[in-house]
Structure 1
């Protein structure tokens, strides 16, 4: 409803309206660990918590089973573990500055 209110008010004031919708397909799978860690530091999360988060992200492995054959272990190089509250929080940290360079606009984020 807030979105419609913004549009209504802009029309009433004769302002220009532009809308951009972003769909973060497979968003949790594509989180770059280095970029996320730099944002964690930027938010002044440091010490043992930052170290633990770095290990949580970077010390993970995976295997694939196909036709009853298991692959060798590989490192997980991107993404956050899905199904955890922490994954959602880490994704929010990743996108929290998405509107940083948008000036003189109303930015609304919703899921």
Structure 2
């Protein structure tokens, strides 16, 4: 999130120089890692160019996945897991980004949100946490219309004075 904080600081400085306000919105996709559908994920991974043995290896890691629950000395039967990725695993953040990147690309293509020069910085992201940076409520709403899967919202308004 240091990267997101840097971009937020730069957006505030740039907007202050341009006498504009900056709206910051933090988004957290509820149960993002739990709700990810395997078939969609591996379709997207394939379209990003991961194929052959690497694609098969990734797919096999999640195919017919199951868990057991242990409580004291008791262990449950296997429970089938058909969606979600393992939080904390080394590849989980990268796999989630592959899954979620279409939303971020849509925001970039829309041209909405803050910019550093000609570079769009509207949605710096760390896994399922997204910081939205916009210069108006209209832009912010436009970005939110693209990002409907995100529900937990904390809204802050910043305006530096000279």
Structure 1 unaligned regions, length at least 5: none
Whole-angstrom distance in 2 between the partners of 1:78 and 1:43 = 20
Out of 89, 97, 107, the position equivalent to 2:122 is: 107
Whole-angstrom distance in 2 between the partners of 1:81 and 1:108 = 24
Q: Secondary structure at the match of 2:29?
A: coil
Tell me by how many angstroms 1:67 deviates: 7.5
**CA distance change for structure 1 residues 77 and 53 in 2, over 3 Å: closer, same or farther?**
same
1:23 corresponds in structure 2 to: 28
Q: With structure 2 as the length reference, what TM-score do the two structures score?
A: 0.56
Deviations 1:2-30 (A, max 9, x none): 21221332343355744332113443222
Would you say 1:71 and 2:79 are equivalent positions? Answer: no
1:9 corresponds in structure 2 to: 14
Whole-angstrom distance in 1 between the partners of 2:69 and 2:123 = 39
Greater RCO, 1 or 2 (C-alpha within 8 Å, sep 6+): 2
Tell me by how many angstroms 1:69 deviates: 4.6
Tell me by how many angstroms 1:76 deviates: 0.8
Report the count of equivalent residues.
Answer: 111
Which deviates the most, 53-62 or 12-21? 12-21
1:40 corresponds in structure 2 to: 45
Q: Secondary structure at the match of 1:19?
A: strand
Deviations 1:26-74 (A, max 9, x none): 4322221122112101101111111111111122111234575543322
RMSD (CA atoms): 2.4
2:136 corresponds in structure 1 to: none
